[in-house]
Structure 1
Amino acid sequence: MFASRGEKAFVTAITVILILVSIVAIIPLLSVISTSLSSRSAVDMNLVTIWPKQFTLDSWGYIIDRADLWRSFLLTLVTTVVGTISALLLTALLAYPLSKPEYRWGAVVMVGVVIAMIFKAPIVPYFLTVRGIGLYDNPLVLIIPQILNPFNLIIMRTFFKQFPKELEEAAFLEGSGYFRMLFQFVLPLSKAVLATLALFYGVVLWNQFQHPLLFLQNPDWFPLQIKIRQFITDDNVIIPGAVSGADLNYNARTLRATTVIFAIIPVVAVYPFLQKYFVKGAMIGSVKG
């Protein structure tokens, strides 16, 4: 089937627009990467654009040797992995019964889910509630409030509603219960939606900033994003003792750029492995209601 001239023009126009938007979006990232790989003098003279000047890895060497940054990195990594797995498990356990028409309270529960998605809790009651259950200055506050998202629950419920009933009926005839059906049949065949929601949950957990800012006081529990903020706003944190002698081939600007790239590398590294599931899962979970 051949495309008409109008369709070809439309596709060409969309392609050009997307390319231009991609270029505009990637230029700031290239600038930050170039700054992290450039010398102190080149950055001080504003010579760096999208290509490193006087290439050096001194900034990376300094950042990699920072024990406090690695502590924040590992804390964020653990909370992201544990939180994502917990969130997927809880979301699946809730979405599966809600996808069944025989669950007569499903419609009522879904109304509550939609209300929770549309109306966010006011910050002061939310803060008092989280503090009241013992999560203030507790690293679990990085996980527990994030392990269920109403929007993600709706996506997974919609996906489960499209699961072949014949397969479930055959499994039930062989003596499978609902839990066995979910964990042995449904979830192994739901890689697309699981990968999609894992990316959604993982990005939120990795990038969370408001929760640790509100609830954490102990610097040992600061996640990576809070540590990055300290690096960006306080020269005495990123360069202790204000050691800014001429023998150093880095400064606060190069170190801040290096820290930003250091923080986004894990997400960028994981995304290509989930991309093939991402589009399929998002479409399947959102087309039908």
Structure 2
Amino acid sequence: MKVKSKKAMFGDWIFVLICVIISLICIIPMINLLARSLSSTDALVRHEVYLLPKGLNFGAYATVFKDMKYINAFVYTVILTLVSTVVSLTMTTICAYPLIFPDLKGKGFFNVVITITMFFNAGAIPNYLLMQNLNLLDNPLVLVLPYCLSVYNMIIMRSFFYGIPDSLRESAEIDGADFFTILWKIYIPLSKPVFATLALFYAVGRWNGYSDALMYIKKSEFYPLQLLLYNILNNINSVEVATQEGFSAPGLSESLKAAIVMFSTVPILCIYPFLQKYFIHGVMVGAVKE
């Protein structure tokens, strides 16, 4: 067995240290937020809460779960995220798959046109006018259709498809398989890592998104959870809104805000353990194979 040199071992420890520091930077704010959501109002007012809750109190979570406004927004956002992810994966697949065929007419032109959209955008006002002309304002579809395809994700999927041996496709063509049969029987079953990775990208992007809903949605029943959270935290200076949402008392204000943020953050974090085994493989292989 080859023994690493002291210089190599030192480099490994430096790398581990950097990873630990980055992990702590990400984890500590979440622990602090959880502690604040579970602490008593008196401890929060005295600024005594850091990493552990003081005066254990579940009142903030009880307030959140009793208010159907949060529950309805949560269910709606889950459905919206699932639909958006399925539509995005479908669009990404049907865009990436034809581009791997060397005999596709206009392949270079399509690649250039698609790539240009990564760097140039019409802007917020033309996009708003377009959505208005398409009668998509105040419509849940406005949160799905305009962003159903990411060129960056399409390039990752196309690169992954390139890594699948052409001999598999050619043998299927000899056996009489058509365009979609090859996609369904060969490419999709062999592409689970990249599908899981891109599903995570699309789901997290939709779950955390609120700027498009802020621009296109005015009806409160179509507010995704993140926009509801944004409006609540953005309007706490209003006495009427603060009293209505439970922000009138300083301690309760901090506890309730932390509980709402945890309520909107934890569900999407639960997806990562199920996709972790595919994530690194999908990103790395899709990024380097061409």
TM range, normalised to the smaller chain?
over 0.9
Separation of aligned partners in 2, 1:91 and 1:280: 19
What pairs up with 1:195-234 in 2 under 5 angstroms?
A: 195-234=196-235
Confirm or deny that 1:240 pairs with 2:241: no
Letter in 2 for 1:201: Y
Partner of 1:21: 22
Partner of 1:84: 85
Separation of aligned partners in 2, 1:11 and 1:242: 50
Partner of 2:179: 178
CA RMSD of aligned residues (A): 1.7
Separation of aligned partners in 1, 2:154 and 2:245: 49
Partner of 2:274: 273
Preserved contact between residue 247 and residue 253 of structure 2 (Cα < 8 Å): no
State the Cα deviation string for residues 74-121 of structure 1 (Å, max 9, x = none). Answer: 111111101101111111111010111111212111111211112233
State the Cα deviation string for residues 118-142 of structure 1 (Å, max 9, x = none). Answer: 2233111111112211111111111
Letter in 1 for 2:37: S
TM-score by length of 2: 0.94
Partner of 2:3: 2
- Runs of 5+ in structure 2 lacking a partner? none
TM-score by length of 1: 0.94
Separation of aligned partners in 2, 1:287 and 1:71: 42
Preserved contact between residue 40 and residue 55 of structure 2 (Cα < 8 Å): yes
What pairs up with 1:1-289 in 2 under 5 angstroms?
A: 1-235=2-236, 236-237=240-241, 239-240=243-244, 251-289=252-290
Separation of aligned partners in 1, 2:245 and 2:257: 17
Separation of aligned partners in 2, 1:17 and 1:179: 46
1:245 is displaced (CA, Å) by 7.6
Preserved contact between residue 214 and residue 227 of structure 2 (Cα < 8 Å): yes
Letter in 2 for 1:57: F
1:288 is displaced (CA, Å) by 2.9
Letter in 2 for 1:141: V
Preserved contact between residue 100 and residue 161 of structure 1 (Cα < 8 Å): no
Letter in 2 for 1:17: I
Preserved contact between residue 130 and residue 136 of structure 1 (Cα < 8 Å): yes
Letter in 1 for 2:244: P
Q: Does the residue aligned with 1:56 lie in a helix, a strand or coil?
A: coil
Q: Does the residue aligned with 1:43 lie in a helix, a strand or coil?
A: helix
- Distance verdict in 2 for CA 1:105–1:245, change over 3 Å: closer
- Runs of 5+ in structure 1 lacking a partner? none
1:244 is displaced (CA, Å) by 5.4
Separation of aligned partners in 2, 1:107 and 1:139: 35
State the Cα deviation string for residues 196-250 of structure 1 (Å, max 9, x = none). Answer: 100111111111111100001111111111111122133444652768589xxx6
Q: Does the residue aligned with 1:6 lie in a helix, a strand or coil?
A: helix
Separation of aligned partners in 2, 1:110 and 1:241: 50
Letter in 1 for 2:62: G
Q: Does the residue aligned with 2:185 lie in a helix, a strand or coil?
A: helix
Separation of aligned partners in 2, 1:16 and 1:82: 40
Separation of aligned partners in 2, 1:269 and 1:210: 23
Identity of aligned residues (%): 33
Preserved contact between residue 246 and residue 253 of structure 2 (Cα < 8 Å): no
Q: Does the residue aligned with 1:136 lie in a helix, a strand or coil?
A: coil
- Distance verdict in 2 for CA 1:134–1:21, change over 3 Å: same
Letter in 1 for 2:49: V
Separation of aligned partners in 2, 1:152 and 1:93: 12
Preserved contact between residue 31 and residue 49 of structure 1 (Cα < 8 Å): yes
| More moved, 116-125 vs 84-93 | 116-125
